[in-house]
Amino acid sequence: MTVRVVLVDDQTLVRTGFRLVLDETGDIDVVGEAADGSQALEVVARTKPDVVLMDVRMPGLDGIEATGRLRSGPHPAKVIILTTFDLDEYVLAGLRAGASGFLLKDALAADLISAVRVVAAGEAVAAPSVTRRLIAHYLGSSATRSVTGERLAALTAREREVLTLVTRGLSNPEIAAALFLSESTVKTHLGRVLGKLGLRDRVQAVILGYECGLAGD
């Protein structure tokens, strides 16, 4: 299956570099490019991609607003936020707007390709070390934790364990090994966590986990 991608960045050289990398894969097809958020909405509506690589700092409609509109629109392509700095205040806003994760612009070609494939498959580029630092930096207040912690009351003890390990950055196979469960059982528990807490995906689960202080439990 070919993954259809749209590149959104106000720098032509960045888009060209990403296109060269992705076009070499054989299973990823760059179907459009845009230089700002407004163009991105038009290109996505026309090409209906699976994944959008979205810069955040662009003239006119920025990547955050564009991400929110894309995710709530008729063609909700998955979005990977592009950023220059790993502690960028805009990244968290992008995740809240519905992005499936973020990628540094100077990432290795292999990391770019992997991120596109992972997100296209329905997973999230969530909780690498830089993401954990970002979320901890912006969501570490005790006041936030006391409010959001009340939401965990709906979870069973096992579901809370799974959420805690997701927050700490473990993959499903790693969680399965840690809790002596099958990977399918972990997926079932995580699905119930997302449903009970009204979360869209793994990225939102990581953010909520940090808000509740689970990273340090």
Percent of the chain scored above 90 by pLDDT?
A: 38
Residue 137, pLDDT above cutoff 70: no
Does residue 89 surpass a pLDDT of 70?
A: no
Burial-class residue 114 by CB neighbours within 10 Å (0-12, 13-18, 19+): middle
Q: Are 51 and 75 in contact (CB under 8 A)?
A: no
- The pLDDT of residue 147: 46
pTM value? 0.69
Query: How much of the chain exceeds pLDDT 70, in percent?
Result: 84
Tokens standing for 5? 């991608």
Task: Tell me the mean pLDDT in the region 45-73.
Answer: 90
**Longest CA pairwise span in the chain (Å):** 50
Sort strands 51-55 and 3-8 into parallel, antiparallel or unpaired: parallel
Q: Which amino acid is at 136?
A: A
pLDDT at 141: 47
pLDDT of residue 20: 94
Q: What is the pLDDT of residues 3-55, one digit of tens each?
A: 999 999 999 999 999 999 999 998 999 999 999 999 999 999 999 999 999 99
pLDDT confidence of 102, banded at 50, 70, 90? confident
- pLDDT of 77-88, one tens digit each? 899 988 876 555
Task: For residue 157, give both structure tokens.
Answer: 């003890």
Q: Sheet holding 28-34: strands in order across?
A: 28-34, 3-8, 51-55, 78-83, 102-104
The winner for highest mean pLDDT among 25-39, 133-147, 159-173 is 25-39
pLDDT at residue number 127? 41
What is the helix (H) or strand (E) element at residue 188, kind and residue range?
A: helix 183-197
